[in-house]
Amino acid sequence: MNTSIHTENLTRKFGEFVAVDRVNISVGSGEIFGFLGPNGAGKTTVIRMLCGLLKPTAGKATVAGFDVYTQSELIKQNIGYMSQKFSLYDDLSVGENFEFYAGVYGLGAGEIAEKRREILGRFGLEAYGSAVTRDLPLGFKQRLALGCAVLHEPRILFLDEPTSGVDPKARREFWKTIHDTAAGGTTVFVTTHYMEEAEYCHRVSIIDGGVIVALDTPGRLKESHGKESVQDVFVDIVGSD
């Protein structure tokens, strides 16, 4: 399996505060990698470094084979990113959002039309192409955001709590889409506060206080801790707060 993301003792300090402390992870192509941790644990800081938005204080990291210190622009060209806060344009239609982001990614007019058809169909949005985005249910807004994040066929997709506030049925449908995306070879690096979603990941890491305190498949984590769910493992490791 090819490696999409690799870090060695990745560290980030803010003054004297160590936000991320010698993180070592390796994520393979097509893997769904869950990144769990309590609020303030360092998850977002790690993602910002991996996306080329924040320089590490120490350590090494490559994303899609590019160095986070010297090749951040190449990293940005090879990744997609979706945040927990819906970040598309509410006053544009679904189709107009696709066309805008396709243009940002440098797709030509012919490619944009083709991609619009493909993505609308793939994400179940065919009937909503002319709908104003603000009128969509939240679950469909999240599908739209994911569709825009993969328009340029990124090798790696970063999802930062992508189903926050989405109802359980829509979350299950969204995760089916994530698995379909990974099956096509895209690496998915995802954070979530819904512990049942961690069960859908190929592997799960838990970060606490800037330190990776667990990393394995959901099954092996449950077995090694003698627990029935990843949520019970999480509470066992970091506490119930």
CATH number of the domain within which 22 lies: 3.40.50.300
Taking each helix axis from N to C end, the angle separating 138-149 and 168-183, rounded to the nearest 10 degrees, works out to 20
* 191 CB-contact burial (10 Å; exposed 0-12 / middle 13-18 / buried 19+): buried
Residue 177 counted as domain residue: yes
The reported pLDDT for the residue numbered 1 is 62
Q: Based on the domain organization, do 117 and 221 belong to the same domain?
A: no
The reported pLDDT for the residue numbered 9 is 98
The reported pLDDT for the residue numbered 240 is 61
Per residue in 2-37, pLDDT (tens digit) is 899 999 999 999 999 999 999 999 999 999 999 999
Per residue in 66-105, pLDDT (tens digit) is 999 999 999 998 999 988 776 789 999 998 988 888 888 8
Q: Which pTM was predicted?
A: 0.89
Among the three residues 153, 168, 184, which one is the final residue of a domain in this structure?
Answer: 153
Residue 83 counted as domain residue: no
Owning domain of residue 240 = 1-78+158-241
Kindly report the CA angle at 75 between 45 and 50, in degrees rounded to 5?
A: 20
The domain total for the chain is 2
Residue 27 counted as domain residue: yes
Q: Based on the domain organization, do 146 and 73 belong to the same domain?
A: no
Q: Based on the domain organization, do 135 and 200 belong to the same domain?
A: no
Per residue in 142-158, pLDDT (tens digit) is 888 888 888 888 999 99
Cα–Cα nearest to 99, from 147, 134, 61, 142: 147
Q: Based on the domain organization, do 174 and 196 belong to the same domain?
A: yes
**pLDDT tier at 169 (50, 70, 90 boundaries)?**
confident
Q: Are 101 and 148 in contact (CB under 8 A)?
A: yes
- pLDDT greater than 60 at residue 41: yes
Residue 188 counted as domain residue: yes
Q: Based on the domain organization, do 222 and 123 belong to the same domain?
A: no
Q: Based on the domain organization, do 181 and 224 belong to the same domain?
A: yes
- Using CA atoms, how far apart are residues 192 and 96, in angstroms rounded to an integer? 29
